[in-house]
Chains A and B, each alone.
Chain A
Amino acid sequence: GQQLNQSPQSMFIQEGEDVSMNCTSSSIFNTWLWYKQDPGEGPVLLIALYKAGELTSNGRLTAQFGITRKDSFLNISASIPSDVGIYFCAGQSPGKLIFGQGTTLQVKP
């Protein structure tokens, strides 16, 4: 079946640092999404990407939809303690979303 490979699996950074994570797939997706999960909660949508090459920002977050439609990355600039959580990429397939394994981010104040 379709799989998304997300990296890195975990990151431990200092407050104020920039963060980058990415997601690759062997399949083409028409939509890429990035979700964040806070501890004890369900994931919440951060950014949705609809076109190959698209670069979209949401505050300190920037995400890009790869030209090949098989990858995407998410950058977080000037990290703060509330950025802690698990970040998931997801690719949209007919009738379903396929999720990556997640990147766990920890921020040291």
Chain B
Amino acid sequence: NAGVTQTPKFQVLKTGQSMTLQCAQDMNHEYMSWYRQDPGMGLRLIHYSVGAGITDQGEVPNGYNVSRSTTEDFPLRLLSAAPSQTSVYFCASSSQTATNEKLFFGSGTQLSVL
């Protein structure tokens, strides 16, 4: 099993550009989520999904869109990148939806917006 796979590992964007961060898991987990990590702020939840076709907002959803068309994939879209979105992004999944504490994280995408 590969676990949670994120691509790309690194990305540089110009303000206003759009892009999609990819996340895939091969553990048949129902629950998937996206976090961003910023210095001194820990991990903040952007969006999450408890199953295919279901998504919900986390703490910091503005500027990001998600969709969950399959159990395996949970892409994160930035429609018009802003410098404030410079961060490290982590995708995570869990087999538990009601008690989703045992999160498996990907290795992260480091995004810089100039």
Chain A residues with a Cβ under 8 A of chain B: 1, 4, 6, 9, 31, 33, 40-45, 48, 88, 90, 92, 95-102
Classify the secondary structure of A's interface with B.
Answer: strand
A96, B44: Cβ atoms closer than 8 Å: no
Chain B residues with a Cβ under 8 A of chain A: 4, 33, 35, 40-45, 48, 50, 56, 58-59, 90, 92, 99-103, 105-108
| CB within 8 Å for A100 and B48 given contacts A31-B99, A48-B101 | no
In the bound assembly, the distance between CA atoms of A40 and B102 in angstroms comes to: 20
Distance from B109 Cβ to chain A, minimum over Cβ atoms (Å): 10
In the bound assembly, the distance between CA atoms of A43 and B100 in angstroms comes to: 15
In the bound assembly, the distance between CA atoms of A1 and B92 in angstroms comes to: 21
The number of A-B residue pairs with CB atoms under 8 Å apart is 60
In the bound assembly, the distance between CA atoms of A4 and B44 in angstroms comes to: 11
| CB within 8 Å for A42 and B45 given contacts A31-B99, A96-B58, A101-B40 | no
A95, B108: Cβ atoms closer than 8 Å: no
Shortest Cβ distance from A41 into B: residue = B107
A98: chain B residues at CB < 8 Å are: 45, 59
Shortest Cβ distance from A9 into B: residue = B40
In the bound assembly, the distance between CA atoms of A48 and B101 in angstroms comes to: 8
For the complex of A and B, the 5 pairs showing the least CB-CB separation, nearest first, are: A42-B105, A99-B43, A101-B42, A99-B42, A92-B101
In the bound assembly, the distance between CA atoms of A102 and B40 in angstroms comes to: 7
Chain A CB within 10 Å — which of B4, B42, B105 has the most? B42
A1, B59: Cβ atoms closer than 8 Å: yes
Distance from A4 Cβ to chain B, minimum over Cβ atoms (Å): 8
13 intermolecular pairs with C-beta atoms under 8 Å apart: A31-B99, A41-B105, A41-B107, A41-B108, A42-B105, A45-B101, A45-B102, A92-B100, A96-B59, A97-B103, A99-B43, A100-B42, A101-B42
B45: chain A residues at CB < 8 Å are: 96-98
In the bound assembly, the distance between CA atoms of A88 and B45 in angstroms comes to: 14
